[in-house]
């Protein structure tokens, strides 16, 4: 039985759920911020379009109406939301509803809100030649170019998530052992490794900077006149800035699809597996909680399966 004394007002339940994510699940502030956006959009729609102010009043029919609303919604550029973007909104609502069910609130079943079907579930990755073309498109004669080259080298060498990359501080890196620890999703700590080439570019970039700011990656267009450690936090690159940087060099390299930091993460994993690395080891380096998440890379490149196919398939006979 639900506790009738508890509030089921929409805003209160959203706040309760986000508090649970922050304290119990220990998700990142970035995730909490996004979930707040997705859930606030939902409750605003309920209140303005359906005139519903309490969660127990939400029905399966309303959830279907909201799905239609998302499908017809446009972003700030006047474009319809992509199915994957619609999915983010739906996943946030379903997750909150599951939490409320566990807390004995009388709410609609989360399964009544269907996930949108994406058009393309294939992962995008680049081979080493494509990555090299991106890196060679950088003008390393400038501090901006040096920084951008290092960003790409580190992403491809370590498989870091973009949020993990921008949080790096100079004291974190050990260029002698070419390894360092990183705190990933769910506060899970793992060790990642730098290639000798990545170390070379990091050393070159940091030597050129010659400052006392803590972050590895900073903005160079708005550096303060005073070189103080505390000023570094204001200069730290954002995830969005890195996304723009990577997309820029993907275009300069004339690659056939839009390149994101996560494409470099996919490329890191694919490169390892294609050269014979074990799935468990790659799982550790990526920081995946479940090995099933890592297995997606075996669908695109598995050297052992390729050798078996070439050896035994009739079409391989000359």
Residue among 98, 133, 185, 209 flagged as catalytic: 185
Residue among 147, 149, 265, 266 flagged as catalytic: 265
Nearest to 36 by CA among 24, 49, 22: 22
Three-state SS at 182:
strand
Decide if 288 is catalytic: yes
Give the long-range contacts of residues 46-50, CB within 8 A, separation 24 or more.
Answer: 46/10, 47/10
Decide if 89 is catalytic: no
DSSP states of 245-310: HHHHHHHHTT-SS---HHHHHHHHHHHHHHTT--HHHHHHHHT-SSHHHHGGGGGT--HHHHHHHH
Task: Give the Cα separation of 12 and 145 in Å (integer).
Answer: 47
Nearest to 13 by CA among 127, 114, 129, 107: 107
Counting Cα atoms < 13 Å in the Cβ hemisphere of 148 gives 22
290 and 271 in contact (C-beta within 8 Å)? no
**Beta strand pairing call for 179-183 and 189-193:** antiparallel
Structure tokens at 230: 């505390």
Residue among 147, 149, 236, 288 flagged as catalytic: 288
Sign of the alpha-carbon dihedral angle for 110, 111, 116, 117? positive
Decide if 306 is catalytic: no
Nearest to 16 by CA among 89, 75, 104: 104
Residue among 161, 205, 249, 266 flagged as catalytic: 161
Task: Give the Cα separation of 87 and 271 in Å (integer).
Answer: 29
Decide if 297 is catalytic: yes
Three-state SS at 235:
helix
Place of tokens 């209140």: 47
Task: Give the Cα separation of 274 and 71 in Å (integer).
Answer: 38
Decide if 185 is catalytic: yes
- What residues are labeled active site? 161, 185, 262, 265, 288, 297
């Amino acid at each position: 039985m639900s506790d009738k004394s508890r509030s089921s007002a929409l805003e209160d339940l959203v706040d309760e759920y986000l508090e649970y994510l922050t304290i119990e699940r220990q998700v990142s502030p970035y995730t909490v911020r996004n979930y707040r956006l997705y859930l606030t959009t939902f409750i605003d729609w309920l209140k303005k379009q359906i005139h519903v102010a309490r969660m127990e009043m939400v029905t399966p029919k309303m959830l279907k109406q909201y799905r239609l609303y998302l499908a017809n919604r446009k972003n700030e550029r006047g474009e319809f939301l992509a199915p994957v973007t619609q999915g983010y909104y739906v996943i946030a609502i379903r997750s909150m509803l599951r939490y409320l069910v566990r807390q004995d609130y009388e709410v609609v079943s989360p399964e009544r809100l269907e996930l949108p079907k994406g058009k393309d579930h294939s992962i995008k990755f680049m081979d080493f030649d494509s990555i090299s073309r991106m890196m060679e498109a950088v003008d390393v004669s400038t501090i901006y170019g040096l920084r951008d080259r290092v960003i790409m080298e580190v992403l491809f060498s370590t498989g870091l998530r973009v949020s993990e990359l921008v949080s790096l501080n100079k004291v974190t890196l050990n260029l002698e052992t070419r390894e360092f620890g990183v705190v990933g999703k769910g506060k899970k700590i793992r060790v990642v490794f730098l290639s000798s080439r990545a170390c070379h570019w990091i050393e070159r970039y940091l030597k050129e900077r010659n400052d006392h700011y803590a972050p590895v990656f900073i903005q160079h267009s708005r550096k303060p006149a005073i070189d103080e450690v505390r000023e570094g936090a204001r200069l730290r690159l954002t995830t969005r800035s890195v996304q723009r940087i990577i997309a820029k060099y993907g275009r300069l390299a004339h690659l056939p699809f839009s390149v994101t930091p996560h494409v470099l993460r996919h490329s890191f994993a694919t490169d390892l597996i294609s050269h014979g690395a074990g799935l468990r080891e790659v799982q550790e380096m990526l920081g995946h909680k479940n090995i099933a998440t890592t297995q997606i890379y075996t669908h695109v490149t598995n050297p052992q399966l390729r050798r078996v196919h070439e050896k035994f398939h009739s079409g391989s006979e000359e």
